[in-house]
Structure 1
Amino acid sequence: MTTSAHRVAVLVRDGVLPMELGLVHQLFGAARGPAGERLYEVRTCALSGPGLIRTDADFPVGAQHGPEALEWADTVIVPASHEEDESLTPGGLPAPLARALDAAAPDSLTRLASICTGAFVLAAAGLLDGRRATTHWLSTDLFARTFPSVTVDPDVLYVDEGRILTSAGEAAGVDLCLHMIREDHGTAVAADVARRTVVPPHREGGQAQYIQRPVPARESTSTSVARAWAEDHLHDPLTLGELAAQASMSVRTFNRRFREETGLTPMQWLTRRRVDRARELLESTDHTVDRVATEAGFGTAASLRQHFVAAVGVSPGAYRATFRGARS
């Protein structure tokens, strides 16, 4: 392990879901630098560690580290505990857990993330007050009632508030981890991790598409054909009418069905895909910003900069300076 590896601590509690713990190790463990070096070091810790922790399965997991790993970490991830989370209230964290989180995050340098109902822990510690957050869709109503100072977004797969991130149900932890890898090391490294683990590098839409609803009418057909066509024509000035025509739907029906399937409006989805395309071009080519804007479908460098800063938080030039050398 190189001394420059980003340090990730996973805080497990009784009732942890093994999948949530495993996906953190699998994804961050698969991230490699240009020379094949590991980019992350991941440690599993528990407040009572080292020792065995109950899971929601018929086997325990062994935590090799105690709470001191939280102070060691650059990123702390809190998976769900089905034994504890939904009983938590504002300021109601068990004292050992509250002290551990205080020690882990004394300033703005440590990144904190939750998977599934692990968001209840961050909210009970007051870390989500005044912020957007998400959790599993089955728990969003309870979460919103319990923590009214948190703005709950029930439709998304994850929320990135800078230093603090939250994700939806356990599989959304994959999306969250890939997002953090992409923010740390660029799209090429994140895409390589996704290929190694055979998962999509970026899943469309949010958890809105998984919320239980009445079965849609037979007339509702998939918009996937239109999305695939749009992926091949991102450089063109696409209109909502053109997209609807690809799906053989009226604009109104297409708009409604698209949101049901992806959790986004067609134009929101199109902007996201164009930003993703611009990121790939900035990392993998020496194209000018004007050419990147044209090939990604933004038309002008000014339009690219506006949408890129809104989505990524930095200018295209700053992004390239950071990630141009981080390609696998």
Structure 2
Amino acid sequence: MTSVVLALYDGAMLFETAAACEVFGVDRGLADAWYDFRVCGPREARLGGWLRVDTPHGFDALADADTVIVPACADVEADPPADLVDAVRAAHDRGARLVSLCTGAFVLAAAGVLDGRRATTHWEHTAALAARYPRVQVDPDVLYIDDRGVLTSAGKAAGMDLCLHIVTADHGAAVANALARRLVVPARRAGGQAQFIAVPAVADTGHAFSDLLDWVSERLHEPLTVPDLARQVNMSTRNLTRRFTAVTGTTPLRWLHTQRIHRAQELLETTDDSVELIAARTGMGTAATLRRHFHRALGVPPDIYRRTFRNHRAPTTTWAQA
């Protein structure tokens, strides 16, 4: 069982704290062994500027945690608590996985663990993070980054995306998808997807694209192309690409490719289908094509992925069961 410690402190934000507690702190029976979850921090720390919390664990709980999560801070101009910074640095030196949600990246940066790494935070604060910590490779345009055991996310909902990414890494795609259905959130948005920065709403295409995504999801076994998607919504390929990217933050082709990989992950975990059959069921065509794209996306071939996650248990749920 993996131990996860959530490190609270004065000024930590409620949303990110709650997201971590919901994902790691509630055992919904989705896997054979969930997380050993603890919350630590100073007595009567204020969250969100008004809610007082009490925990029996201080920052010494970070000393033996497999994963340490630091939620967002309200004031990025203030120096983070020195005892938290020291505990985070010691956890990193010991080899713990470190996770920051939103502006929690400023705590990791103060501890020096982001030096020489790619990292992100809420788009409003990326410039400040880069200016204050010039050794950090700040990427303002992504939802989250997993850089060699140090993980950072953009603002608010992106923190939930990162938490589900961690569940996927630990328990597999089927378990992460089942959890997302329980929480009534999107199963997975790729970390490289753009943050939604000042993107104008496109009200007249929102519903059409929702229908399009459902239509594609039911036909992933077909050799769909972007022109096929464009015809489905009566747009030119160029116009679809432009408007789809503006609304979703990614291109139609990249989104389609990501869905095929996700479907392949689920089939590898939950069926005994051969790689050849899974390639056909995901529109990849051939086993060689599936292996190439799967390895490029996840860093392992399908056979190894299946052996890693085949025995994880993910009960079937529906959105209505959340």
TM-score greater than 0.5 by the shorter chain: yes
Q: Report whether the alignment pairs 1:76 with 2:72.
A: no
Tell me how far 1:53 sits from its aligned partner: 0.4
Give the alignment of 1:236-247 within 5 angstroms. Answer: 236-247=222-233
DSSP-derived class of the 1:242 partner: helix
CA RMSD of aligned residues (A): 2.5
Question: How far did residue 292 of structure 1 move?
Answer: 1.0
Counterparts of 2:283 and 2:99, CA distance in 1:
33
Q: Distance in 1 between matches of 2:47 and 2:253?
A: 42
- TM-score (ref. length: structure 2): 0.88
Q: Does 1:64 align with 2:59?
A: no
Distance 1:150 1:257, change over 3 A: farther
CA contact (8 A) 1:209 1:261 kept: no
Map 1:137-286; keep pairs closer than 5 Å.
Answer: 137-203=123-189, 208=194, 210-214=196-200, 222-286=208-272
Q: Which moved more, 1:163-172 or 1:215-224?
A: 215-224
Between the two proteins, the alignment pairs up a number of residues equal to 314
Amino acid at match of 1:181: V
Pair 1:309-2:295 in alignment: yes
Contact 2:143/2:190 (CA < 8 Å) preserved in 1?
Answer: no
SS in 1 for 2:47: coil
Structure 2: tracts of 5 or more residues without a match:
315-322
Aligned to 2:101: 115
Quick one: distance in 2 between partners of 1:184 and 1:205?
16
Q: Would the alpha carbon gap of residues 175 and 27 (structure 1) be closer, same or farther in structure 2, given more than 3 Å must change? A: same
Measured in 1, the distance between the counterparts of 2:60 and 2:82 equals 16
Confirm whether residue 12 of structure 1 aligns to residue 8 of structure 2: yes
Q: Distance in 2 between matches of 1:40 and 1:162?
A: 21
Deviation at 1:207, TM superposition (A): 7.1
Structure 1 window deviating more from structure 2 (202-211 vs 225-234): it is 202-211
How far did residue 213 of structure 1 move? Answer: 4.1
Please say if residues 154 and 195 of structure 2, whose CA atoms lie closer than 8 Å, have aligned partners that are also in contact: no
Runs (5+) with no aligned partner, structure 1: none
- The alpha carbon displacement at 1:62 in A equals 1.5
> After superposition, what is the alpha-carbon deviation per residue over 1:28-61, rounded to whole angstroms, capped at 9, x for unaligned?
1334557x75510111112xx3x11012242211
Match of 2:19 in 1: 23
Separation in 1 of the partners of 2:204 and 2:279?
40
Cα distance in 2 for partners of 1:215, 1:198 equals 22
User: Do structure 1's residue 102 and structure 2's residue 94 form an aligned pair?
Assistant: no
Could you tell me how far 1:193 is from its partner in structure 2? 1.9
Q: What SS class does the counterpart of residue 173 from structure 1 fall into?
A: helix
Pick closer, same or farther for the CA change 1:256–1:103 going to 2, 3 Å.
Answer: same
Q: Aligned partners of 1:18 and 1:59: how far apart in 2? A: 8
Counterpart residue number, 2:320: none
Provide Cα deviations, 1:8-29, integer angstroms capped at 9, x if missing partner. 0111111111222122121113
SS at match of 1:27: helix
Please give the TM-score of this superposition, normalised by the length of structure 1.
0.87
Deviation at 1:217, TM superposition (A): 9.4
Q: Name the % identity.
A: 49
